[in-house]
Structure 1
């Protein structure tokens, strides 16, 4: 059970830190964190928890990563569903804590609550197709980096840094497009509390990241082979 608890805690930290920076800090322009600050917050959550819990569960914290690692031959199918369940519960718990904190401010309005979306729910008004392509391609790139940096022949001890910086880069690119998912659990947790109808578009933020994650892992194996995984 330790690895499932680790996935719960890691995903909780990712949603609390990443979405918390968007809901609590980015809401105040005078704090100056903006898109860059939110992007760094998401990257730092993964970096810190990958070092803390990577030796326990592999530090997926994301159903798309779990599916990708399975497609890439690095993860057992018997653990796939328990990992995803732990990740989703962790994300919902974090969103609940974030809601309790955020609602403690007088005049608080839930609004989008850091949820993801396309069309009128996209920060930049991007279409469904644009968001779909963005989420698939960026999640594929994320898994490519994860597969490579965690390979046994990669420099030891640096994988969390590469993965955290990759997630930061992904957010810098795609926050205006989809508010950045690449993580179905992260999308689910905050969508449950959002008041913008985010649940109606949640399907895309399950399908696109999982397809992208599996695609990225398969491409990595095709390019780099499976020796010494």
Structure 2
């Protein structure tokens, strides 16, 4: 355990999770600002979140696996794909990165366009129960897309996993924004809530829904559809994912990439 934490590769991976989440939150929230001259559209926001995830998956995925989402990290832990220690450090880095990204955006945006900094909230008379179900379904499809598109055991053409994951995030936003503003990622909800100090009574929805949805996807994929298991030493040695969960990089031979919203 001490060897893992003190390794340069581990420190780089944790920093990559921090940086990737910071950039993702900055661009995602930035697309939803309420500029007086041009209010954002649902399509604009959806594409911005999807493009941000795809870009970070391609850029920093080879360093850390590119989880960028506490729900995905915890799902991989449940699926026995990463060590507990790495999961703890990753989640901490993601949450701090989300706060930093939201904080930078808050400092740069004029007050007349800042609004509530796109803090997630239940909309359109949606009940908390309905909101949890929606977030669960949205994150479930995202997690399945991540696990499947990065599985090198597949014999069928996969294409670009980063693109597939980005489109999955875009799909979720096209539907989810109407219900909850679309989270699919506890860090994305936590960052602006901290910066704006706006924790609604329903903030728990944006943790429970994504975590349960991603966990269900991990159990289905790793234990039922395509069983795979690693020993503790293997999980530490390989860092993020087993060799069968590798994707072809555009610029390198093989690099592990796993992401989220």
Q: Which interval holds the TM-score relative to the shorter structure?
A: 0.7 to 0.9
Could you tell me which residue of structure 1 aligns to residue 236 of structure 2? none
Decide whether the 8 Å contact of 1:111 with 1:194 is kept in 2: no
The answer as to 2:50 corresponding to 1:38 is no
| Structure with the higher helix share, 1 or 2 | 1
Mean Cα deviation higher: 201-210 or 79-88: 201-210
- Shift in Å at residue 132 of structure 1? 0.6
Could you tell me which residue of structure 2 aligns to residue 60 of structure 1? 67
Q: TM-score, normalised by structure 2?
A: 0.77
The answer as to 2:70 corresponding to 1:70 is no
Could you tell me which residue of structure 1 aligns to residue 18 of structure 2? 8
Decide whether the 8 Å contact of 1:192 with 1:199 is kept in 2: no
Could you tell me which residue of structure 2 aligns to residue 177 of structure 1? 179
- Shift in Å at residue 183 of structure 1? 0.5
- Shift in Å at residue 75 of structure 1? 2.1
The answer as to 2:128 corresponding to 1:94 is no
Q: TM-score, normalised by structure 1?
A: 0.88
Decide whether the 8 Å contact of 2:79 with 2:223 is kept in 1: no
Task: Give deviations 1:4-60, integer Å, cap 9, x for gaps.
Answer: 00000110011001111102xxx2475474010100000011100101111110000
Q: Which runs of 5+ in 1 are unaligned?
A: none
Could you tell me which residue of structure 2 aligns to residue 226 of structure 1? 227
Change (3 A) 1:167 1:29: farther
The answer as to 2:119 corresponding to 1:115 is yes
Task: Give deviations 1:95-143, integer Å, cap 9, x for gaps.
Answer: 10111112x35xx27543211122xxx2x23111110100111111111
Change (3 A) 1:198 1:112: farther
Q: Which runs of 5+ in 2 are unaligned?
A: 1-10, 229-243, 246-261
- Shift in Å at residue 181 of structure 1? 0.6
Could you tell me which residue of structure 2 aligns to residue 142 of structure 1? 142
- Shift in Å at residue 221 of structure 1? 2.7
Distance 2:200 2:165 in 1: 28
Distance 1:224 1:165 in 2: 23
CA RMSD of aligned residues (A): 2.0
Distance 1:96 1:137 in 2: 29
Residues 159-198 of structure 1 aligned to structure 2 (within 5 Å): 159-194=161-196, 197-198=198-199
SS of the residue 1:198 aligns to: coil
Q: Which has the larger radius of gyration?
A: 2
Decide whether the 8 Å contact of 1:131 with 1:178 is kept in 2: yes
Distance 2:146 2:90 in 1: 17
Mean Cα deviation higher: 29-38 or 80-89: 29-38
